């Protein structure tokens, strides 16, 4: 096994491109090292991206925010501008593992690990975040929901890596939220989760909505019917019920040791309601 | 914290204080050496190959490729652990569990092991071992195993079947307790509540996995460094299994990162010794967390029916329980313990309990803190709670009306002596938690619990150092601060300060036999032996002082850490301190010591009562513990902080089991959640501070009044939490753990019916 710690994106891309075996990017390592220790993967090359200065930054751009792939979840939580603009994304990232895990882990790693239960991913999908990908054939930009294909599998081509995740500017009367259900209070994996982003009129009518669910399908689920159920409402009871119904109906979970199909379908609707209420409250407060 | 001392007859100087723990600095600085923290020159790494099948005949094992791998120094199978049991069935079962002989009897059963120069080589070698299995049908559920169509778990089971009695195939043992005539009692009652309960299997969840370093020499001697609750019993069992002389095997207990009963049985230690014997080098064997879950002993899964009849005044007229406990593939005593403890808190005229051990294709059941009692209490205390609801009676009042008192005949036979259940209930009654108002979706549950506690073989040695400080060597492994408690006891008796006594755990070559630290016996037994040893040393100290003064020993008394001459003739002599006497020891007869070898008798049982306040989320089924109170009779709290620690730790383990902890088996008989991610013990943020009240009703059988305290705290929580959830939701909970999916399903079910 070869370990390298490049100082630039170009160098990283070079290393990945030149490798013919089993190359892995190492960000926080909170998935990769666990899988290596468990004997599930045996990398021939590890490219550690934490020494690439450019990838360690959170920047405000003219369109919004640029989050380098090596920025830790703890650093997201410390960024006041991100907390103000995208509280749902930040709260999702700050639910991952524990304080110790958050000191290492990244949202890019969370996305590229391609777990259906990844916490930051529904929040990023609801936020309409874009992923900057670099590779041997240059760079491209794609939607977050286009990255995970199935549990453990991404749409990244060999030699490609995520350089950054980009979020829009936050307009007035808009906000987001993320809530997951776990049997404990921390150190657990979502049984079901919901991320919701809302934009309102000045009078509180929902103009646009994005709803994404986690842990209830092989990949994150964007539920447009659920979003439509919210648009034009002020989140009255009927709208909330409709939201819960559409989310429960859209969910395609499995029965496993973490929860039954019936339980997940039921709870994901409850979570969607609670998430919508929180996002709505935040959006109203953001004038 | 709050100590409710019923009778403070004795005056203590050290006992009852809360000094800093003597092993604390090493533990918080990471210097303490646990099972895996010991190394020997030339040591190899041992790894175990385990069955992926719940039940399979081992047709053949081909180890040749593994043996041929460079760096592999030994490969063993059951053939390398020949049967030295000499017809002792129990011992043969232990051997069979350590290394499957003809059949793998559960997912995770050891079938072979290797010792190699490093872990990578050992792992590779495991992959080269070829086992030819004939997969057999299995059964992992207790009730399924009792059906006449069930698959047979162990060939012993069939041989025990009495065809005329039509005993189901997988029953290992049936035990019955009680007195009176339960049918007559039920006929007399005004209200009868009858229910069935189920408890899933839980693991002790100690943070430190099993680990040892074994070294067997060509001359038949050996050393074992190991994390264990009982190095003396490990020595006996390991020596017997390997055909060694007991005295030639020296076992040293490391610091222990939790055991709770799980480290009272040998698992991988005989395997490590056999590997070392074959390789001719020391072998370190450390289990992974997955191995701990799959291949060591969790507690029993259980299925229980309870029927209780009461008068309108809330007096129990008759009580019956049928308790079925899984014991893994081997024999067990778990049904018996459940049947003995189920109604132990109550004075009942007509009572009958039947406890059954059921063989299933799961790991061998091991002791887990008051084994069997928590699920028995879950069933019995739940039915009592329902009775209180139906009688519209305060559930605490119902307990008062039936509580056992001094002289009550216990439900399992003996008559109780001085016991403290009523005092415990009184302390509950006056606790402010009972007055905290509850909001919507909140509920309060109460439950009582009982454990016997035990005594047993114990010995200690006290050595006085040249400067008058003392070293106390004890042989009961310290699992909860008992070294510091023993220093307090020795300081108390000697009349010197706590920080002048250092207590250590002796290895098997240092002291005579000590029974394992189990049954809440450690502090009870070792403090008794310590008091004896110090008294003996004081006798020597008085003799030495007499010699120094040249007066008769009868004129010397021991007071406040000094020898004092008494009587008209010598009463005016200045006292001699321990240090002064110790300094003169070379000239007055040599080293000064005391020792004691006893079977500790006079055990005092311990009762507790817990109050749990919860809030249930009716949309997700999630339960939040709002407040939790443990009240228990300690007899005498030597170091109250460690008594509170036992109360809190037991409550937390019980809460974890009540809410989330369970073994999940697939239809294939494989354990699906062999790790802390999906076997959910509580994390700190799941819990409120656990409040405690120590009640002290001294045990007359102990010089200071000590009772064991370690196990009773895990008995009431399943029931206390279940009663709280049942009251919060209006739906009676009958299946633990009450995980969110299970609670939500129960709520949905109740809506439908
Ligand atoms: C104790 C513990 C608790 C956890 N709890 C949670 C939780 O609550 N919620 C949750 O969602 N997850 C949890 N996880 C999983 C993990 O922490 C998260 O998925 C985390 O976000 C992964 O980030 P990382 O930077 O550590 O990823 P790494 O382990 O470094 O990488 C993960 C995967 O993504 C690839 N990768 C990383 N960066 C890139 C990149 N820039 N481009 C392309 N591929 C890349 C890696 O090669 C690897 O395959 C937990 C893990 C542990 C150990």
Backbone angles phi, psi at B24, to 5 degrees: -70, -45
Spatial neighbors of B103 by CB under 8 A, at least 6 apart, are B55, B56, B57, B58, B136
Q: What is the ipTM of this complex?
A: 0.94
Lowest mean pLDDT among B167-181, B212-226, B530-544, B636-650: B167-181
Contact B745 A263 (CB under 8 A): yes
Instruction: Please give the average per-residue pLDDT across B621-637, as a whole number.
Output: 98
Residue pair B751/B619 in contact by the 8 Å Cβ criterion: no
pLDDT for position B168: 64
**Please, are residues B657 and B684 in contact by the beta-carbon 8 Å criterion?**
no
Coil, strand, or helix at residue B613? strand
Q: Which of A168, A194, A229 is the last residue in one of the domains? A: A168
The stretch B426-439 carries a mean pLDDT of 98
Beta carbons of A257 and B620 less than 8 Å apart: no
The per-residue pLDDT for B1 is 42
Task: Work out the end-to-end distance of chain A between its first and last CA atoms, rounded to an integer number of angstroms.
Answer: 54
pLDDT value at position B397? 98
Mean pLDDT of chain B: 95
Contacts of B661 in chain A (CB under 8 A): none
Query: Bridge-partner residues for B211, per DSSP?
Result: B286
The share of chain B scoring above pLDDT 90, in percent, equals 94
A183 vs B673: CB contact, 8 Å cut-off? no
Task: Tell me whether residues B744 and A263 touch, CB distance under 8 A.
Answer: yes
Determine the structural domain holding residue A186 and report its residue range. Answer: 174-285
d(CA A126, CA A213): 9
pLDDT over 80 at B678, yes or no:
yes
Query: Rounded mean pLDDT of B197-216?
Result: 98
Contact B741 A263 (CB under 8 A): yes
Task: Extract the runs of DSSP E, i.e. beta strands, from A5-53.
Answer: 23-26, 45-48
CATH number for the domain harbouring residue A43: 3.30.465.10
Residue A199 beta carbon below 6 angstroms from any ligand 1 atom? no
Selected for mutation to probe chain B from A257, A260, A273, A275 (highest B CB count within 10 Å) is A257
Q: Is residue B87 exposed (0-12), middle (13-18) or buried (19+ Cβ within 10 Å)?
A: exposed
* pLDDT score of B318 more than 70: yes
**Strand order through the sheet with B442-451:** B3-5, B690-696, B623-633, B606-616, B442-451
> Within 13 Å and on the Cβ side, how many CA atoms surround A249?
10
Q: Is pLDDT at B530 greater than 90 in this prediction? A: yes
Mean pLDDT across B331-356: 97
Point out the least confidently predicted range of B38-42, B154-158, B286-290.
B154-158
- E strands, B547-591, are 556-559, 562-565, 576-577
Common-topology check for domains B35-136+209-256+263-295 and B302-453+604-752: no
Look at chain A and report how many structural domains it folds into: 2
The residue behind tokens 């069979």 is B96
Q: Are the CB atoms for B116 and B45 separated by under 8 Å?
A: yes
> What pLDDT was estimated at residue B167?
58
pLDDT at B376: 98
CA distance A87 to chain B (A): 22
pLDDT tens per residue, range B71-82: 999 999 999 999
Query: Which CATH number goes with the domain that contains A265?
Result: 3.30.390.50
Cα-based angle A225, A227, A229 (whole degrees, multiple of 5) = 70
Burial grade of B282 (CB within 10 A; 0-12, 13-18, 19 or more): buried
- Report d(CA B324, CA A181) in Å as an integer: 34
Pocket test for ligand 1, best of A8, A23, A25, A187 (most atoms within 8 A of CB): A25
Q: Are residues A114 and A68 in the same domain?
A: yes
Question: In this structure, are A10 and A125 located in the same domain?
Answer: yes
The answer to whether B683 contacts A189, with C-beta atoms less than 8 Å apart, is: no
Residue B458: beta bridge partners? B598
Three-state SS for B349? coil
Ligand 1 pocket, residue A279 CB under 6 Å: no
Same domain, A72 and A28: yes
Q: Does A258 touch chain B (CB under 8 A)?
A: yes
Does residue B165 register a pLDDT over 70?
Answer: no
Tens of each residue's pLDDT in chain A, 287 residues: 899 999 999 999 999 988 778 999 999 999 999 999 888 999 999 999 999 999 999 999 999 999 999 999 999 999 999 999 999 999 999 999 999 999 999 999 999 999 999 999 999 999 999 999 999 999 999 999 999 999 999 999 999 999 999 999 999 999 999 999 999 999 999 999 999 999 999 999 999 999 999 999 999 999 999 999 999 999 999 999 999 999 999 999 999 888 899 999 999 999 999 999 999 999 999 87
A36 and A105 housed in the same domain: yes
Interchain CB contact of B168 with A (< 8 Å) = no
Residue B518: closest CA among B698, B263, B250: B263
| Widest Cα–Cα separation across chain B | 92
What would the mean pLDDT of B3-25 be, rounded to a whole number?
Answer: 80
B164 pLDDT higher than 70: no
SS3 assignment, position A211: strand
pLDDT at B375: 98
Residue A48 dihedral angles phi and psi, to the nearest 5°: -85, 120
Query: What is residue B650's DSSP assignment?
Result: H
Can you give the C-alpha Rg of chain A in angstroms? 19
Across the interface, whether the CB atoms of B622 and A181 are under 8 A apart is answered: yes
Confirm or reject CATH 3.40.50.10090 for domain B302-453+604-752, answering yes or no: no
Does A154 lie in the same domain as A210?
no
Select from A5, A36, A96 the residue to mutate for testing ligand 1; criterion: most ligand atoms less than 8 Å from CB: A96
Give the model's pLDDT for residue B570.
87
Nearest Cα to B14, choosing from B374, B522, B527?
Answer: B527
3-state secondary structure of A99: helix
Compute the distance between CA of residue A38 and CA of residue A35 in angstroms, rounded to an integer: 5
Chain A partners within 8 Å of B620 (Cβ):
181, 267, 270
Q: Across the interface, which of A185, A258, A267 has its CB nearest the CB of B620?
A: A267
Cα–Cα distance measured from residue B340 to residue A236, given in angstroms and rounded to the nearest whole number: 58
Do A185 and A164 share a domain, yes or no?
no
Nearest to B710 by CA among B531, B526, B524: B524
Is residue B7 predicted with pLDDT exceeding 90?
Answer: no
Rounded Cα distance between B361 and B97, Å, is: 12
Say what the pLDDT of residue B3 is. Answer: 53
Report how far apart the first and last C-alpha atoms of chain B are (Å, whole number).
Answer: 45
Same domain, A86 and A202: no
* A281 contact partners, CB below 8 Å, separation of at least 6: none
Q: Same domain for A122 and A208?
A: no
Tell me the pLDDT tens digit for each residue of B687-746.
Answer: 999 999 999 999 999 999 999 999 999 999 999 999 999 999 999 999 999 999 999 999
Alpha-carbon separation of residue B412 from B114, B305, B345, B377, B455 (angstroms): 47, 18, 11, 15, 19
**Do A70 and A152 lie in a common domain?**
yes
Q: How confident is the model at residue B147 (pLDDT cuts 50, 70, 90)?
A: confident
Most distant CA pair in chain A, distance: 60
The class that CATH gives domain B35-136+209-256+263-295 is alpha beta
- Spatial contact of B67 and B307, defined as CB atoms under 8 Å apart: no
| Domain spans, chain B | 35-136+209-256+263-295, 302-453+604-752, 456-600
Residues A80 and A145 in one domain: yes
The residue among A117, A141, A168 that closes a domain is A168
- pLDDT, residue B152, reads 80
Instruction: Say if ligand 1 is within 6 A of residue A109 CB.
Output: yes
Cα Rg, chain B, nearest whole Å: 27
Q: In which element (H, E) is residue B225 found?
A: strand B222-226
pTM for the whole structure? 0.96
Look at the domain B456-600 and name its fold. Answer: Aldehyde Oxidoreductase; domain 4 (3.30.365)
Give the CA dihedral B503, B504, B509, B510, nearest 10 degrees: -20
CB of B394 less than 8 A from some CB of A? no
pLDDT of residue B710: 96
Quote the ligand 1 centre to B57 CA distance (angstroms).
41
Peptide bond into B737 cis (omega under 30): yes
- pLDDT at residue B384, as a whole number: 98
Of A98, A133, A168, the residue that ends a domain is: A168
> Taking the CA of residue B162 as centre, how many other CA atoms within 13 Å lie in the half-sphere pointing to its CB?
6
A63 burial (CB, 10 Å; 0-12 / 13-18 / 19+) is: exposed
- Confidence check: pLDDT of B173 > 90: no
User: Which residues are paired to B462 by β-bridges?
Assistant: B472, B594
3-state SS record for B248-272: HEEEEECCCCCCCCCCCCCCCHHHH
Residue B551 has pLDDT above 90, yes or no: yes
Rounded-to-integer distance, Cα B280 and Cα B748, Å? 62
pLDDT at B9: 56
Residue B154 has pLDDT above 90, yes or no: no
Reply yes or no on whether the pLDDT at B2 is more than 70: no
């Amino acid at each position: 096994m070869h370990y390298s710690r490049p100082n630039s994106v170009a160098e990283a891309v070079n290393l990945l491109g030149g490798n013919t075996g089993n190359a892995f990017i190492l960000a926080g390592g909170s998935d990769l090292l666990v899988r290596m220790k468990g004997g599930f993967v045996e990398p021939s090359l590890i490219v550690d991206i934490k020494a690439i200065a450019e990838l360690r930054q959170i920047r405000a751009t003219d369109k919004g925010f640029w989050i380098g792939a090596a920025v830790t979840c703890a650093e997201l939580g410390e960024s006041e501008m991100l907390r103000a603009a995208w509280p749902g994304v930040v709260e999702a990232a700050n639910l991952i593992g524990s304080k110790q895990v958050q000191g290492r882990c990244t949202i890019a790693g969370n996305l590229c690990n391609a777990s259906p239960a990844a916490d930051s991913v529904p929040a990023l999908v609801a936020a309409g975040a874009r992923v900057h990908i670099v590779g041997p054939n240059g760079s491209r930009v794609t939607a977050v929901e286009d990255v995970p294909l199935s549990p453990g599998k991404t749409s990244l081509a060999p030699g490609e890596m995520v350089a950054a995740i980009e979020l829009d500017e936050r307009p007035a009367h808009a906000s987001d939220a993320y809530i997951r259900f776990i049997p404990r209070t921390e150190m657990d994996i979502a049984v079901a989760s919901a991320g919701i982003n809302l934009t309102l009129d000045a009078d509180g009518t929902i103009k646009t909505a994005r709803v994404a669910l986690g842990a209830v399908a092989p990949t994150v689920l964007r539920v447009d019917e659920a979003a439509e159920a919210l648009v034009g409402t002020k989140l009255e009871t009927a709208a909330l019920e409709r939201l819960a119904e559409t989310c429960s109906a859209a969910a395609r979970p499995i029965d496993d040791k973490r929860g039954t199909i019936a339980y997940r379908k039921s709870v994901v609707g409850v979570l969607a309601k609670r998430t919508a209420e929180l996002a709505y409250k935040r959006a109203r407060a953001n004038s | 914290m709050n100590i409710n001392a019923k009778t403070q007859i004795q005056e203590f100087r050290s006992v009852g204080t809360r000094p800093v723990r003597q092993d604390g600095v090493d533990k918080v600085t990471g210097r303490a050496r646990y099972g895996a923290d010991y190394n020997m020159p030339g040591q190899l790494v041992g790894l175990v190959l385990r069955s992926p099948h719940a039940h399979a005949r081992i047709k053949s094992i081909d180890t040749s490729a593994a043996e041929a791998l460079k760096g592999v120094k030994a490969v063993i199978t059951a053939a390398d652990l020949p049967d030295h049991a000499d017809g002792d069935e129990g011992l043969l079962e232990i051997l069979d569990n350590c290394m499957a002989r003809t059949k793998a009897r559960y997912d995770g059963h050891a079938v072979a092991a290797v010792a190699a120069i490093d872990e990578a080589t050992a792992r590779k070698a495991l992959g080269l071992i070829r086992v030819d299995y004939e997969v057999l049908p299995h059964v992992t559920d207790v009730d399924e195993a009792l059906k006449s169509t069930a698959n047979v778990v162990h060939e012993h089971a069939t041989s025990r079947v009495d065809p005329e009695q039509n005993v189901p195939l997988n029953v290992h043992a049936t035990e019955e307790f009680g007195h009176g005539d339960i049918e007559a009692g039920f006929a007399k009652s005004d209200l009868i509540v009858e229910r069935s309960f189920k408890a899933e299997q839980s693991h002790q969840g100690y943070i430190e996995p099993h680990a040892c370093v074994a070294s067997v020499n060509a001359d038949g001697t050996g050393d074992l460094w190991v994390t264990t609750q009982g190095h003396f019993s490990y020595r006996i069992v390991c020596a017997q299994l390997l055909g060694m002389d007991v005295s030639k095997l020296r076992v040293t207990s490391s610091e222990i990162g939790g055991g709770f009963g799980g480290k009272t049985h040998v698992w991988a230690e005989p395997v490590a010794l056999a590997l070392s014997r074959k390789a001719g080098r020391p072998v370190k064997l450390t289990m992974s967390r997955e191995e701990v879950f799959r291949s060591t002993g969790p507690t029993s899964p259980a299925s229980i029916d309870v029927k209780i009849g009461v008068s309108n005044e809330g007096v129990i007229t008759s009580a019956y329980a049928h308790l079925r406990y899984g014991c893994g593939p081997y024999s067990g005593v778990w049904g018996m313990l459940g049947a003995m403890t189920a109604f132990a808190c109550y004075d009942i005229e007509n009572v009958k309990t039947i406890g059954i051990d059921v063989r299933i294709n799961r790991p061998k059941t091991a002791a887990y803190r008051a084994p069997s009692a928590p699920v028995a209490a879950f069933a019995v205390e739940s039915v009592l709670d329902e009775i209180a609801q139906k009688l519209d009676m305060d559930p605490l009042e119902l307990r008062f009306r039936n509580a056992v008192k001094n002289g009550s005949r216990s439900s399992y036979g003996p008559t109780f002596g001085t016991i403290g259940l009523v005092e415990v209930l009184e302390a509950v009654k006056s606790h402010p938690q009972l007055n905290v108002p509850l909001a919507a979706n909140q509920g309060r549950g109460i439950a009582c619990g009982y454990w016997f506690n035990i005594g047993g073989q114990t010995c200690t040695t006290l050595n006085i150092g040249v400067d008058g400080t003392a070293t106390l060597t004890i042989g009961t492994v310290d699992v909860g601060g008992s070294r510091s408690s023993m220093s307090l006891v020795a300081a108390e008796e000697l009349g010197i300060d706590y920080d002048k006594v250092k207590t250590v755990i002796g290895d098997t070559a240092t002291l005579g036999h000590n029974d394992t630290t189990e049954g809440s016996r450690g502090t009870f037994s070792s403090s008794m032996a310590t008091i004896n040893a110090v008294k003996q040393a004081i006798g020597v100290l008085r003799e030495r002082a007499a010699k120094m003064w040249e007066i008769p020993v009868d004129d010397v008394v021991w007071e406040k850490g000094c020898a004092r001459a008494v009587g008209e003739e010598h009463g005016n002599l200045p006292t001699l301190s321990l240090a002064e006497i110790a300094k003169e020891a070379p000239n007055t007869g040599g080293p000064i010591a005391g020792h004691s070898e006893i079977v500790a008798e006079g055990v005092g049982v311990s009762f507790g009562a817990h109050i749990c306040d919860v809030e249930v989320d009716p949309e997700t089924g999630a339960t939040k513990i709002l407040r939790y109170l443990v009240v228990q009779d300690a007899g005498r709290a030597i170091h109250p902080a460690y008594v509170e620690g036992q109360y809190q730790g037991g409550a937390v383990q019980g809460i974890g089991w009540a809410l989330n902890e369970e073994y999940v088996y697939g239809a294939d008989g494989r354990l699906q959640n062999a790790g802390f991610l999906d076997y959910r013990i509580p994390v700190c943020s799941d819990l409120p501070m656990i409040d405690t009240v120590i009640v002290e009703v001294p045990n007359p059988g102990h010089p200071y009044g000590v009772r064991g305290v370690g196990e009773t705290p895990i008995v009431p929580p399943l029931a206390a939490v279940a009663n709280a959830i049942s009251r919060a939701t209006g739906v009676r909970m009958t299946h633990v753990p009450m995980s969110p999916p299970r609670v939500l399903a129960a709520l949905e079910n109740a809506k439908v019916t």
